[in-house]
A and B are shown apart, each in its own frame.
Chain A
C-alpha cells in the first residue's frame, strides 16, 4: 500500500492537534488515529511523534497527565485553549496553501 511518511514537523503538529481536537488521547492512539483518518495514507514514524508532542506541550498547546488503563500507566494528551486557537490557525493556513497550489496546478478540463 502506498503511504506518505510525514516529513514536515509543521504538518505533524497540525495533525496531532487535529486528532486531539476531538478527544484526549495517548501517543499510540494519536498515531493510529492519523493512520485511520487518512485511510492508511499518512503515517508518522512513531519515534519522532513524541518529540513533537513534547514540544507542543512545552508551548502549552497541549497538556498531559498520567492515568492508569488496565493496570498500565498511560500518558494522555489533551488540547488546551491555546492549542485550540493554534489548530484553527493551522487549518486556515493549510486551506489557503491547498487553494493556492491547486490554482497554480490547474484542474482537469
Chain B
C-alpha cells in the first residue's frame, strides 16, 4: 500500500480542511521515517488505516455529517416538528404552563444560537429540541389520567431519544468545534 492509498483510506471521509491537515502531518511523519532508514510501507508505520479512520471519527465530524448539519434542513425539520407538535399532544390541565415554558426555552435557544456557524447552530438546536421534548414527555408519560396507549408509546420513544441525545450531544458538539476550527484556519 502506498502512502497516498493509506491517506485516502484513513482520511477521505472527512471534510477537505481536515484531510489537508492530516495529510500534511502524516506526510511529514513518513518523510522523517524514511530519512531514518525506515521501511517504505505506511501500514508498518501508521497501522491499519481503518483503525486510524475510526480514531479520527472520534475527533472530527465526517464529511457527510458536516454537510447534513451545514445544510441545516434535516435537523431544523426535526426540531420544528418537535416544538410545533408538542403543545397539541399535551392536552392536560397544566397545558398552558408547559406551553409557556416550552416556548420560552425554544426562543432562548434560538436567540443564543443565532450567530453560531450553521453546523453548530444545527447541532445545538436539534439537541435542544430533542432533549427538551424528552424532558417534557417524562412528566406526561407517568400522567395517570392519560388513556392513550399510542401517546404513551411515542412519549416513551421521545424520552429515549432525549436521553441518547443528552449523552451524544457533548461529543458531537466537541467534534463540530474541532472541525470548524480547521475549516476556519483554511478559510483565513
Contact = CB atoms under 8 A, between A and B. Distances in A.
Interface of A: 26-29, 31, 45-48, 50-51, 54-55, 58, 72-75
Interface of B: 10, 22, 24-26, 28-29, 31-33, 45-49, 51-52, 55-56, 58-60, 174, 177-178, 181
Contact of B29 (A27, A48, A73): A27
Given A58-B181, A74-B28, A75-B28, A47 B48 contact: yes
22 contacts: A26-B28, A27-B25, A28-B28, A28-B32, A28-B33, A45-B46, A46-B46, A46-B47, A47-B10, A47-B47, A47-B48, A47-B49, A47-B51, A48-B55, A50-B26, A50-B29, A51-B52, A51-B55, A58-B174, A58-B181, A73-B28, A75-B24
B53 to A, nearest CB: 9
A47 B59 contact: no
Contacts, number: 61
Contact of A47 (B24, B55, B174, B177): B55
B33 A45 contact: no
Contacts of A45: 46-48, 51
Contacts of B49: 47
Nearest to B26: A50
Nearest to A26: B28
A12 B87 CA distance: 50
A74 B29 CA distance: 9
A1 B24 CA distance: 31
Contacts of A50: 22, 25-26, 29, 52
A73 B181 CA distance: 20
Given A46-B47, A51-B59, 13 more contacts: A26-B28, A26-B29, A26-B32, A27-B28, A28-B28, A45-B51, A47-B10, A47-B47, A48-B52, A50-B22, A54-B178, A72-B31, A73-B24
